Amino acid sequence: MCLAVPGKVIEIIGDDPLLRSAKVSFAGVVKLVSLTCTPEAKLGDYVLVHVGVAISTVDPKEAEETFRYLKAMGELDGIDLPPDPVGLSLADRPAPGPATSAGPTKSASHAAS
Amino acid sequence: MKYVDEYRDAALVRKLADAIARVATRPWTIMEICGGQTHAIVKFGLDDLLPKHITLVHGPGCPVCVTSADLIDQAVDVALNHGAILCSFGDMLRVPGNGIDLLTAKARGADVRIVYSPLDAVTIAKENPARPVVFFAVGFETTAPANAMSVLRAKRERVKNFSILTSHVLVPPAMRAILGSPDNRVQGFLAAGHVCTIMGTAEYGPIAREFKAPIIITGFEPVDILEGILLCVQQLESGRAEVENAYSRAVKAEGNVHARKIVETVFTVSDRDWRGLGVIPQSGLALRDDYFPFDAARRFPLAKSCATCATECISGEIMRGVKKPHDCPAFGTRCTPERPLGAPMVSSEGACAAYYRYRSRAVEPAEQR
């Protein structure tokens, strides 16, 4: 039920906040999706879509977090990385910094590991 | 598919599994809350990659599974006896109530329609102004914004024949109920990523501290899930109990503020009867009084709650992580997806359905692992 699938915004329709929608392409399958909950979404962004509603824009920098974390652990040594997920070189990324909010503390624990 | 394929990389998955094996020195039991994660774990065989002493148990994060039989009876009654068009997510149709299920009601002539989105139900209501159209609004926090939007759109567009039958549940109260249960064996959680996409992470810190259980906000692909397990095991081994976000590409600390505002406009927190778990205080969402014209429970009151039928189904124990599907004597024999005794065998997120679909081999009973 909580399944949400990432797709690319290819056309935005309307500007009324309650009715604003987008055509979203899921690897070629296009569906009309509400952008009411993601007013920041723009053409070319990837949004996570759940029951016809975009619930989040995918953060391309954070999307690299998993790979950065594994790299920091040395777990990626000796294997080929999957296609660079966000067009950023892992080697060029700064090391994880301290947690930036009162929320989760992943960065801190990653740094410790 | 971008943001999917790279998180299914087999070499990465093996590396993560190796890392977990190195870190885990003692037996630990970890619950993944969300049924979507359960299906990914069983489908990809992720639990088979873990050391034997790491046990994954499957949580109650399947809204279809926890919707009370009384509400299914009410949906059946609305569809059969009030001339309504009953719109629902497809998973709900074969879930048994106390009497018949919605698919049987449809076979008897009721107008039951499967929709992809609650917004589609509003469209059906606009196309059928002479008939009541009821959307069976089940779901966790993830689905609440879409269901709330259907009400806001119907109100804005004066679609007066539209209403929703609400069975909304909230994750954090269920986690507290599981951790506080006398037979609890869960030591750490993988929290449901998309619930946190909406609600953020603030609710989980107090739970982690009070019950000394690490909570890792986790995504849905194999690499996401194994990273969540690794972080959880690292915390357990080092005696920490913190909230960590392993799904930061989709979850911000504050959640989705636009979605939360929509939910808070339409819904208020209420007690909720969870199928298999019982009533959990302040664990659901109900329509605010301002929106009572859109409340199907008020428009079509059910005369009397039916007595709960006796059943072999042990869904409550499965959803609390006390037992696994194979521990049920009816699993795969008297209870199958075609003829389910309980909801977890029906839903695409139910643990029993996952085991039935992906596990033909026998699995050791939970107690012996």
Number of inter-chain CB pairs under 8 A, A vs B: 177
CA distances B52 to B15, B18, B221, Å, are 17, 13, 22
Do A20 and A50 belong to one domain? Answer: yes
CB B138 within 8 A of CB B63: yes
Q: How far apart (Å, rounded) are the C-alpha atoms in residues B227 and A71? A: 13
| Mean pLDDT score, A92-96 | 39
Do A20 and A52 belong to one domain? Answer: yes
Report yes or no on A52 lying in a domain. Answer: yes
Contact B138 A82 (CB under 8 A): no
What is the separation, in whole angstroms, between the first and last Cα of chain A? 34
Do A66 and A45 belong to one domain? Answer: no
B210: closest CA of chain A, how far (Å):
16
- Whether the pLDDT of residue A17 is over 50: the answer is yes
Report yes or no on A109 lying in a domain. Answer: no
Do A18 and A41 belong to one domain? Answer: yes
Report yes or no on A111 lying in a domain. Answer: no
Do A66 and A53 belong to one domain? Answer: no
Contact B63 A60 (CB under 8 A): no
Report yes or no on A69 lying in a domain. Answer: yes
Contact B249 A59 (CB under 8 A): yes
Instruction: Report the DSSP beta bridge partners of residue B217.
Output: B191, B245
**pLDDT score, position B316:** 87
Rounded to the nearest 10 degrees, what angle do helices B204-211 and B171-180 cross at?
0
What is the residue range of A18's domain? 5-57
Q: With an 8 Å Cβ cutoff, is B124 touching chain A?
A: no
From A4, A27, A67, residue closest to B1, measured CB to CB: A27
Q: With an 8 Å Cβ cutoff, is A21 touching chain B?
A: no
Q: pTM of whole model > 0.90?
A: no
Do A67 and A51 belong to one domain? Answer: no
* Number of structural domains chain A divides into: 2
Window B:266-325, CB contacts with A under 8 Å = none
From A2, A102, A103, residue closest to B245, measured CB to CB: A103
CB count within 10 Å of CB A30 equals 14
CB B255 within 8 A of CB B195: no
Token digits for B133?
Answer: 């159209």
Do A47 and A24 belong to one domain? Answer: yes
Do A44 and A77 belong to one domain? Answer: no
| Chain B residues with CB-CB distance to A104 below 8 A | 201, 217, 242-245, 253
Do A12 and A30 belong to one domain? Answer: yes
Report yes or no on A106 lying in a domain. Answer: no
**pLDDT score, position A75:** 63
Report yes or no on A108 lying in a domain. Answer: no
Do A53 and A9 belong to one domain? Answer: yes
**CB burial string B25-49: b at 16+ within 10 A, e below:** eeebbbbbbbbbbbbbbbebebbeb
Do A29 and A49 belong to one domain? Answer: yes
Phi/psi of residue B254, nearest 5 degrees: -90, 0
A50: closest CA of chain B, how far (Å):
7
Q: Which helix (H) or strand (E) holds B121?
A: helix B118-127
Q: What structural domains and CATH numbers belong to chain B? A: 1-314 (3.40.50.11740), 315-368 (no CATH)
The CATH number of whichever domain residue A39 belongs to comes to 2.30.30.140
Q: How far apart (Å, rounded) are the C-alpha atoms in residues A113 and A69? A: 9
Do A51 and A71 belong to one domain? Answer: no
Rounded to the nearest 10 degrees, what angle do helices A65-73 and B10-23 cross at?
50
What is the separation, in whole angstroms, between the first and last Cα of chain B? 37
Report yes or no on A75 lying in a domain. Answer: yes
CB B88 within 8 A of CB B114: yes
CB A88 within 8 A of CB A64: yes
Contact B3 A46 (CB under 8 A): yes
| Minimum Cα–Cα distance from B195: chain A residue | A2
**ipTM metric:** 0.88
Give tens-digit pLDDT for A37-89: 999 999 999 999 999 999 999 999 988 877 887 777 766 665 555 554 444 33
369 residues of chain B, pLDDT tens digit each: 889 999 999 989 999 999 999 999 999 999 999 999 999 999 999 999 999 999 999 999 999 899 999 999 999 999 999 999 999 999 899 998 888 999 999 999 999 999 999 999 999 999 999 999 999 999 999 999 999 999 999 999 999 999 999 999 999 999 999 999 999 999 999 999 999 999 999 999 999 999 999 999 999 999 999 999 999 999 999 999 999 999 999 999 999 999 999 999 999 999 999 998 899 999 999 999 999 999 999 999 865 554 455 578 888 888 888 899 989 989 998 899 888 888 888 887 889 999 998 876 544 444 444
| Chain A residues with CB-CB distance to B207 below 8 A | none
